[in-house]
Amino acid sequence: MDTTLDDPLVGRVLDGRYRIDARIAAGGMATVYRAVDTRLDRVLALKVMHPALAADAAFVDRFIREAKSVARLAHPNVVAVFDQGTDGPYTYLAMEYVSGCTLRDVLRERGALQPRAALDILEPVLAALGAAHRAGFVHRDMKPENVLIGDDGRVKVADFGLVRSVDSVTHTTGSVLGTVSYLAPEQIENGIADTRVDVYACGVVLYEMLTGAKPHTGGTPAQVLYQHLHEDVPPPSAAVPGLPVGLDELVAQAAARDPQLRPYDAAALLGLARGARLRLSDAELDAVPPQARAEVRSATEDRTSVIPRPVDALGAPLAAAGEQPVQHTSRLATPPPPPAPARRRPRPRRGTLLVVAGVLLALGLGTGVWYINSGQFTKVPNLLGKTEAQARAQLSAAGLGVKGVERKFSDSFDRGTVMNTDPPGGKRIRGNGAVTITLSRGPQVVAVPNLKGRPLEEAKTELTNAGLAPGMVTLAFSQDIAQGSVIASDPAGGEKRAPDTAVALVVSKGRPVPVPSVTGIPFEQARSTLEGLGLKVVTAPEQVNAPSPAGTVANQSVGAGTQAATGDAVTLTLSKGPRQLPVPNVTGQDVEAARKALEAAGFKVKVDRPFLSFSNTVDAQSAPAGQNAPEGSTITIRTKGL
């Protein structure tokens, strides 16, 4: 059935540039369309926020944050963002159009995948998330719906709409956004969202690809939440017998309930996945899975939703600090009490019971009766994108006044247009009430501070305070900048950039220290020499045989002539003296044959020919045959004289 027939945006041109041809998909917060950029004549995807949500500045900020975050990634496995803008009530992102399907489509049609296919999909997903994590972002909503597979086989990660900075925002209060089937335990219980929540979700997705079903299922979201908190993700081989143990281990590492037991980020998990692939044979990688077991899931398990967090006896969120949640329009079905595990009945943690209670409370409020006297209240009109004059006229027509006018910077609203209202559009207030409107001052430009000579942590703090993001840190030697302080930045100090731009820092390793050769000299003398240069000396735990006497340095970890930084460690391996080797009997042998025999035994050879000696036969040797002599020592052989 064509789902685009009744869509009012199909056939329209947004912002005088983007012609909308068809609807691709609809989600809880936005609808995605196939469109044509009439200016550049190219097909792209247009993600348009639902107008009801566009009245909420927090959702608009999330849209803008998604555009900025993805634009900064520029990774081949991330769906690219080309543009962002607003046209009346419509806020949109113009994105790369990927012709193909989602991983959810593949799983729905084929069920369990072969291990090779699962890893072929997982690895580019982890590469994309790894780039996001190393750039300082957490996706927070990884699931098969957000993995796009192009007709050409390319895999791309989409929908960074819930992206958050790794450092600046890691907790939420009251509720948590996400999809119940892929939420990590710490997201549910504490609202914590660092790089390891994406790792957990990828572990669940890998399990689903290998088995064709989710590890935790239930009739209601509450049952799924309970299982995330109390039950480990089972090994995939329990559902698909014959799967290699290496894949069980990979899923167990990624989806460990304790975040401390998971790989730190997606880049680390990518290394484990590649290692697991190398340990599998072609037969194991290409094994055809049996028919996947039937999957039972509720209609809300695959939707991005607001999940109520644990609350105390007064209904307050247990977490103390963090961002205020943005409420979502989707509802969760009323859950029954969480199911008990089949083999044992662990005592539920208090947080789990409060999670379920929170779900029930939220649903009770959602289905209650809300009485409004329509004669005393009116709705605030949606004023986003309007000029001040237009906003005042619409408020006056609605019987409302203007309480005040504020001005703030905005990257998404044109200068002089409304970027926010208090109360927001759609909110009911008394008919004679007043509204505060916030007008855009246009995009804010931030000057990069001069960080040369500043200690690294101080430089990072200054960047954050200026509204910029600390970026990649590289180390270099410097003759005049103290060790640990900034040599330069990119962009350089004084240059102007948009807020949240990443600034790369070059940090001093101090003056270079040429490392001398200390092999063959006594250990104390070697240590004194190196420490005098500002280097740290470490002694290897084991000694080795070497030609130099016992107690001297046999090897050094940093080669002579190498440049090191002050404080760098040099490991010294001590000699326990040369090995003692048996001396062969070469008396009576030809001189050349004797030389070869002694050298093969580990000795050096010196030939002593007496004056006027014409013999080429060894008459005597300096070390008696059968006795031991130091390896590498010189043995003299003598021919017979007249």
Task: Return the active site residues.
Answer: 141
- For 474, residues 6+ apart whose C-beta sits below 8 A from its C-beta are 504, 505, 506, 507
Cis bond before residue 221 (omega within 30° of 0) = no
DSSP-assigned letters across all residues of 503-557:
EEEEEE--SEEEPPP-TTSBHHHHHHHHHHTT-EEEE-SS-B--SSPTTBEEEES
For residue 495, count other CB atoms closer than 10 A to its CB. 13
Distance CA 613, CA 611 (A): 5
CA 602/CA 579 separation, integer angstroms: 10
Whether 78 contacts 258, CB under 8 Å = no
Whether 46 contacts 14, CB under 8 Å: yes
Torsion of the alpha carbons at 34, 37, 41 and 45, rounded to the nearest 10: -30
> Cα–Cα distance between 203 and 250 in angstroms, integer?
8
Question: How many Cα atoms are found within 13 Å in the side-chain-facing hemisphere of 599?
Answer: 9
Q: What is the DSSP track for 489-511?
A: EESPTT-EE-TT-EEEEEEE--S
Report, in angstroms and rounded to the nearest whole number, the Rg of the chain calculated over CA atoms: 35
Cβ neighbours around 415 below 10 Å, total = 12
**Torsion sign (Cα): 93, 98, 104, 105:** positive
Q: Are 10 and 23 in contact (CB under 8 A)?
A: yes
- Count other Cβ atoms within 10 Å, centred on residue 6: 8
The pair of three-digit structure tokens given for residue 356, joined into one six-digit string: 């379920």
Question: For residues 548 and 520, what is the distance between their CA atoms, to the nearest angstrom?
Answer: 6
- Whether 383 contacts 421, CB under 8 Å: yes
